[in-house]
């Protein structure tokens, strides 16, 4: 077991308080802190001290994939830890985005490489050849736009806004129950050929009006009005109308499959994803946008469920999801010993509160609030005691 040195990502939408307070550092911070990465992604691997030598986790795993990941995981994923654990802290809305499937990521990465795009080229959609399904578990109330509305529901919302420019789109959606109509509507908005400033302005005014009502769309419209403050004049503000608005309460999670359009808005949560940084964006960002590629990847019928934890007993619960690359667990520990799930594969443990005491054979390790550790497969069964609240990341294909 190794304590990790995670990497903080200072993206502009990040919080000046959440990650620092979790780690017990002074807050507010001078720069925003958006994500805390715990894992072995090659662009930002965590550090470990192994045998008195400071190394990066990806290098440790590459030296002994079977021992670190487990034989089954190494046979399936090679020398790459298949998951990446993050703390995500959003003070401003993130981009509207879609992630690729494995087949799409491999084809996209190969095509961009053959076109001569360098690995660090900012016009790349595919920075690696991995898929990026993900699960987000709320630590605070977390506002998300996740998955598409139905055509009829979208038509009702557009008509409630009473923006004349959107009436033809509302009529088209009202006439179709097919999910593909939503992709077409998204493309129409993102390639708007009229006055974009006028459209965004009219939508923002209408959202402010509906937000002040007690109607069914008040919450979504209030959220979109705040997004417009974060990203003034951006067509993504209008496109956000097509996505389902949800507030995740602490302990609830949402799973994003390949093709599921989404945008995280505000809150702090634990995110577990396949070990990739592939993001195709369509708005609400100064980063590279590729609308045609996003529309090609979008699955308007993608199921984006809100997930309740399922108890495994002993204070341990699991967030079930279909991704083979990862599985997320939560352990609410008392002073007694509890067997951690995921034995047989590599695990990363994050202490969200209290202090966890981990034991593997004769070895013990204390993981305090805001700290994380890597458990190699070779450590086998690990027990833990608290009082502590732990998130545990493991692979998604082994039992436990």
Residues that constitute the known binding site for Zn(2+)? 97, 99, 134, 262
* Helices of type H across the chain: 18-23, 57-63, 65-69, 71-77, 102-114, 151-161, 167-174, 180-190, 196-211, 218-230, 236-239, 291-297
Burial annotation 173-204 (CB, 10 A radius, 16+ → b, else e): bbebeeeebbbbbbbbbbebeeeeeebbbbbb
Helix (H) or strand (E) holding 99: none
167: helix, strand or coil: helix
- Residue 52, token pair as written in the block: 């008195």
- Residue 353, token pair as written in the block: 């509160």
Determine the Cα–Cα distance for residues 110 and 103; give it in Å rounded to an integer. Answer: 11
Determine the Cα–Cα distance for residues 329 and 391; give it in Å rounded to an integer. Answer: 6
Q: 149, 281, 327, 347: which one is catalytic? A: 281
Widest CA span in the chain: 71
For residues 136 and 328, is the Cβ–Cβ distance under 8 A? no
Whether 281 is catalytic is: yes
Catalytic residues: 281
């Amino acid at each position: 077991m190794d304590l990790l040195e995670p990497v903080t990502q200072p993206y502009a939408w990040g919080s000046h308080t959440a990650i620092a307070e979790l780690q017990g550092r002074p807050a507010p911070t001078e720069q925003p802190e958006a994500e805390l990465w715990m894992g072995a992604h090659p662009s930002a691997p965590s550090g470990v001290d192994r045998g008195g030598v400071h190394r990066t986790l990806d290098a440790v795993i590459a030296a002994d994939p079977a021992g670190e990941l487990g034989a089954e995981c190494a046979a399936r994923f090679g020398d790459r830890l298949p998951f990446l654990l993050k703390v995500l802290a959003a003070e401003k809305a993130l981009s509207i985005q879609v992630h690729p499937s494995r087949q799409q990521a491999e084809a996209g990465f190969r095509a961009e490489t053959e076109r001569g795009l360098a690995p660090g080229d900012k016009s790349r959609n595919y920075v690696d050849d991995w898929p990026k399904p993900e699960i987000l578990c709320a630590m605070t109330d977390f506002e998300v736009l996740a998955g598409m509305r139905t055509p009829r529901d979208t038509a009702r919302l557009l008509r409630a806004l009473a923006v004349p420019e959107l009436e033809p789109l509302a009529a088209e959606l009202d006439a179709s129950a097919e999910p593909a109509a939503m992709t077409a509507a998204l493309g129409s908005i993102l390639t708007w050929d009229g006055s974009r400033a006028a459209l965004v302005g009219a939508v923002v005014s209408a959202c402010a009006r509906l937000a002040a009502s007690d109607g069914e769309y008040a919450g979504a419209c209030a959220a979109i009005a705040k997004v417009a403050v974060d990203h003034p004049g951006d067509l993504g503000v209008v496109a956000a109308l097509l996505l389902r608005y949800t507030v995740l309460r602490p302990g609830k999670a949402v799973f994003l499959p390949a093709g599921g359009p989404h945008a995280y808005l505000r809150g702090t949560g634990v995110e577990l994803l396949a070990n990739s940084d592939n993001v195709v964006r369509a708005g609400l960002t100064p980063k590279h946008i590729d609308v045609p590629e996003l529309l090609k990847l979008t699955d308007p019928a993608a199921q984006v469920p809100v997930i309740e934890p399922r108890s495994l007993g002993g204070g341990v619960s699991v967030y079930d999801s279909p991704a083979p690359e990862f599985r997320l667990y939560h352990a609410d520990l008392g002073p007694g010993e509890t067997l951690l799930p995921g034995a047989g594969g590599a695990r990363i443990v994050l202490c969200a509160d209290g202090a966890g005491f981990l034991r593997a054979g004769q070895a013990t390790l204390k993981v305090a609030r805001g700290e994380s550790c890597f458990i190699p497969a070779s450590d086998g069964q690990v027990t833990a005691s608290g009082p502590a609240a732990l998130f545990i990341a493991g692979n998604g294909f082994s039992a436990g």
